[in-house]
Amino acid sequence: MSSDSPATHYVAPVETTTITVDAVKVAAKPSSLWSDAWRDIRVRPTFWISVAIVIWVLLMSFWPTLFTHVDPRSCSLDFSNQGPGKGHPLGYTFQGCDIYSRIVWGTRVSVSVGLLATLIGSFIGLVMGALAGYYGGWLDSVLSRVGDIFFSIPYILAAVVVMTVFADFRNVITLSVAIGGFAWAATARVVRAEVLRVRNSDFVTASRALGKSNFGTMMSHVIPNAIAPLLVVSTLSLAAAIVAEATLAFLGVGLGDQAISWGTEISNAQSQIRVAPMSLIYPSLFLTVTVLAFIMLGELIRDALDPRARAQR
The mean pLDDT of the chain is 83
Q: Which residues contact 111 (CB under 8 A, 6 or more apart)?
A: 57, 58, 61, 242, 290
Give kind and range of the element (H or E) at residue 28.
Answer: none
State yes or no: pLDDT of 66 exceeds 70.
Answer: yes
Confidence of residue 58 (pLDDT cuts 50, 70, 90): very high
pLDDT digits (tens, 9 = 90+) for 149-180: 998 888 888 888 988 888 888 888 989 998 99
Confidence of residue 312 (pLDDT cuts 50, 70, 90): low
CA dihedral for 106, 109, 113, 119, sign (positive or negative): positive
pLDDT of residue 94: 84
Which of 191 and 201 is assigned the larger pLDDT?
A: 191
Q: How many CB atoms lie within 10 A of CB 122?
A: 22
Q: Check if the beta carbon of residue 37 is closer than 8 Å to that of residue 305.
A: yes
Residues 68 and 50: their CA atoms lie apart, in Å, by 23
Confidence of residue 291 (pLDDT cuts 50, 70, 90): very high
Residues 96 and 296: their CA atoms lie apart, in Å, by 35
Crossing angle for the helix pair 172-180 and 155-165, nearest 10 degrees? Answer: 140
Confidence of residue 293 (pLDDT cuts 50, 70, 90): very high
Residues 264 and 97: their CA atoms lie apart, in Å, by 13
Q: State whether residue 135 is helix, strand or coil.
A: helix
Tell me the H-state helices in the chain: 33-41, 45-62, 99-135, 137-152, 155-165, 172-180, 185-198, 202-209, 214-217, 223-225, 228-250, 262-269, 278-305, 307-312
Residues 22 and 92: their CA atoms lie apart, in Å, by 71
pLDDT of residue 18: 55
Confidence of residue 53 (pLDDT cuts 50, 70, 90): very high
pLDDT digits (tens, 9 = 90+) for 89-133: 888 888 888 899 999 998 998 899 999 999 999 999 999 999 998
Crossing angle for the helix pair 99-135 and 45-62, nearest 10 degrees? Answer: 110
Lowest model confidence (mean pLDDT) among 61-70, 209-218, 232-241, 304-313: 304-313
Q: Check if the beta carbon of residue 280 is closer than 8 Å to that of residue 269.
A: yes
Amino acid, single-letter form, for residue 269: A
